[in-house]
Chains A and B, each alone.
Chain A
């Protein structure tokens, strides 16, 4: 178990960032702090995470608002879902 949070990107976000999974250590306290960290890493990714229809899931549950993050959490950024 890591002290950080594991970030997962899907769909067009993954292509934009050029990576699918990364651990951010130490764990940012909140989802907004994590997004700010990612925006400093990659400004285009930061802007895309605030784009229309992008949802965040914390530990595989859609997380509205700005939830607190615990060390070891998995945060997935989900662009608009395209269906099968």
Chain B
């Protein structure tokens, strides 16, 4: 499932709900990304293209399910203004064995950080600026081009 939320997200509640009713799953890995207080940053503003953004993430989620043999995966992403310390993204991956769950969650996060259709504005003491993925973000995603689970 893929969801965009303009309200605060509750990672604990999302994880608890994601665990319910599983009998084949041996492990669930979850990741929560928070807005970090980088120098001068006061808040982030995330813009999505409703309908398009969810469909693109869903396409990659479906690829991840197959590639890592996941039982299920959940991606929840904030949109709008997100304050320092608030969760901005939550990903969970369920698999029969833990390695697949770790790798599935890692892959989904690398995709979300560098390729997902979001536009990110950083509100800083000196003003607001649009930010693009870092070289590190691109390199993180590129790891998966040669990686075989």
Residues on A close to B: CB < 8 A? 8, 10-12, 14-15, 57, 60, 76, 78-84
Contact = CB atoms under 8 A, between A and B. Distances in A.
Contact of A83 (B47, B49, B55, B115): B115
Interface stretch (B6-14, B64-72, B92-100, B116-124): B116-124
B118 A84 contact: yes
Interface residues of B, number: 25
22 contacts: A10-B47, A10-B49, A14-B47, A15-B130, A57-B52, A60-B55, A78-B117, A79-B119, A79-B130, A80-B132, A81-B115, A82-B118, A82-B119, A82-B130, A82-B132, A82-B133, A83-B113, A83-B114, A83-B118, A83-B120, A83-B137, A84-B118
Contact of B131 (A8, A10, A82): A82
A13 B115 CA distance: 18
B61 interface: no
B51 interface: yes
B118 A81 contact: yes
Nearest to A8: B49
Nearest to A11: B119
Contact of A76 (B49, B89, B114): B49
B88 interface: yes
A15 B46 CA distance: 14
A32 B108 CA distance: 35
Contacts of B51: 60
Given A57-B52, A84-B33, A12 B119 contact: yes
Nearest to B55: A60
Given A83-B112, A83-B120, 11 more contacts: A10-B119, A11-B130, A14-B47, A76-B49, A79-B119, A80-B132, A81-B115, A82-B118, A83-B116, A83-B137, A84-B112
Nearest to B128: A15
Contacts of A10: 47, 49, 119
Nearest to B82: A84
B122 to A, nearest CB: 10
Nearest to A60: B52
Nearest to B137: A83
A81 to B, nearest CB: 5
